[in-house]
A and B are shown apart, each in its own frame.
Chain A
């Protein structure tokens, strides 16, 4: 009963938002949702292709490069050192980071074989959009997935992925900090490590 009331409130809120916000915000919400829907479709195409894991990781990397703002993610998880290194050194790190994400998250996506991800909707959050989805896995409680999407790079791209509360930017920032301190702050050495990590 409580849920019914909440749902009603949510519907009312959504209607009020649609009336006041006008077509511009609605278009951004739908383009944010559209981006994530295409990304999810592409990920499942890779998952269901039955290829070797190594080949799949390459394709996950390509999906990541296509739909994510890799530049801002790489910069953000590296933190302050990103501002202290040269363009070439950053580009090398960025490309190693992209491969690392393809492998690391690719491994997790493989656990989604036989499951479905339903993209449910997008809502504005601060200066960007949050796109909500639910992953239905066999015999398990459904998982909440959320993407954060922005057009500040000039194109609509996602810059964060939150699975059951676990935030990609936060965990990758912790990981980069630990890897970097192992290398005593040497970004070039971190880049070499990233090529093998994930």
Chain B
């Protein structure tokens, strides 16, 4: 643990500077508040990510065909084992974040889930905790912890390979690497396997929800704007910030302007 300490402090400092460093005027777009001062750079990164995604999933960006037979998601596939193992290994880090957020209930749930699925579920390959015991995962990360601590969202960022993010969530991702308790108990080669499985799980999710992802990346008229909108709405929902900046359901009659009233379409 000692060799982490100095670099951790440097990281924490640079991240907090980075998060607070940018203060631009967010604007309302399609009913939500968007803060995107780096849009030109983000758009270039988006094009890069999109072509990378197309290469990896073996489809040309503009020629996706959708009428492929549906895969039976009710049946277990080899990829599901990887997804299960990878997401099981991400649980200890989530327990730490649950605790840092002052939420012992979800922490206990995620910990029990990790214990049950690592043992009865054979190293996390199966999910007896979720199926039989109702111990579902409470997804979280350090980005959410920062939100709970009152750190503002910051500017929207599109990261290489990882895709949509914000300044707060990107800082969270870096910190999550050192918050993962497994990093301190596993050997370096075991850590490599852990990350291999976790990345595999992400890739498996990408394949499993390919229709939704394809629909956003390939079928949208402006996939950058769609991905940004979806990420921000989803993220704010997850961290419980629904009403923090703009609640689109809030009194549509009070804002009878052409733009504000659309969420309650009967309002104008």
Contacts and interface: CB of A to CB of B under 8 A. Distances in A.
Interface of A: 1-3, 52-54, 69, 72-73, 75-77, 79-80, 104, 107-108, 110-111, 113-115, 125-128, 130, 137-142, 144, 148, 150, 152-153, 159-160, 164-167, 169-171, 173-175, 177-179, 182, 197-198
Nearest to B222: A178
A143 to B, nearest CB: 10
B242 A165 contact: yes
B180 interface: no
Interface string B25-57: 000011110000000000000000000000000
A3 B225 contact: no
A122 to B, nearest CB: 14
A126 B250 contact: yes
Contacts, number: 140
Nearest to A177: B30
A72 B229 contact: no
A22 B121 CA distance: 50
A175 B221 contact: yes
B47 to A, nearest CB: 15
B257 to A, nearest CB: 11
20 contacts: A2-B105, A75-B265, A76-B262, A104-B215, A107-B211, A108-B212, A108-B215, A126-B249, A139-B80, A140-B137, A141-B137, A148-B249, A153-B266, A164-B234, A167-B263, A170-B229, A173-B31, A174-B229, A175-B220, A177-B30
A171 B226 contact: yes
B160 interface: no
A138 B73 CA distance: 8
B220 A150 contact: no
Which 7 A-B pairs give the minimum distances between C-beta atoms? Answer: A165-B237, A114-B74, A178-B222, A76-B265, A178-B221, A152-B266, A179-B221
A110 B136 CA distance: 22
Residues of B in contact with A, size category: 35 or more
Contacts of B225: 174, 178
Interface of B: 29-32, 66-67, 70, 72-75, 80, 83-84, 87, 105, 127, 130, 136-139, 208-209, 211-212, 215, 219-222, 225-226, 229-230, 233-238, 242, 248-253, 258-259, 262-267
B226 A113 contact: no
Contacts of A169: 31, 262-263, 265
A53 B212 CA distance: 15
Contacts of A108: 211-212, 215
Contacts of B212: 107-108, 111
Majority SS at the chain A contact face: mixed
A132 to B, nearest CB: 13
A174 B30 contact: yes
Most A C-beta atoms less than 10 A away, residue of B72, B230, B238: B230
A54 B66 CA distance: 10
Contact of B251 (A54, A72, A126, A140): A126
Contacts of A72: 265-266
A111 B221 contact: no
Given A139-B83, A169-B265, A54 B67 contact: yes
B29 A174 contact: yes
B105 A3 contact: yes
A3 B84 CA distance: 28
Nearest to A152: B266
Contact of A111 (B67, B73, B139, B253): B73
A125 B229 CA distance: 23
A164 B238 contact: yes
B32 A127 contact: no
Contacts of B222: 174-175, 178
A198 B265 CA distance: 22
B127 A164 contact: no
B114 to A, nearest CB: 14
A139 B266 CA distance: 39
Nearest to A193: B221
Given A141-B137, A148-B249, 14 more contacts: A76-B265, A79-B259, A104-B219, A108-B215, A111-B211, A127-B252, A139-B83, A139-B84, A140-B137, A165-B236, A167-B233, A171-B226, A174-B222, A198-B219
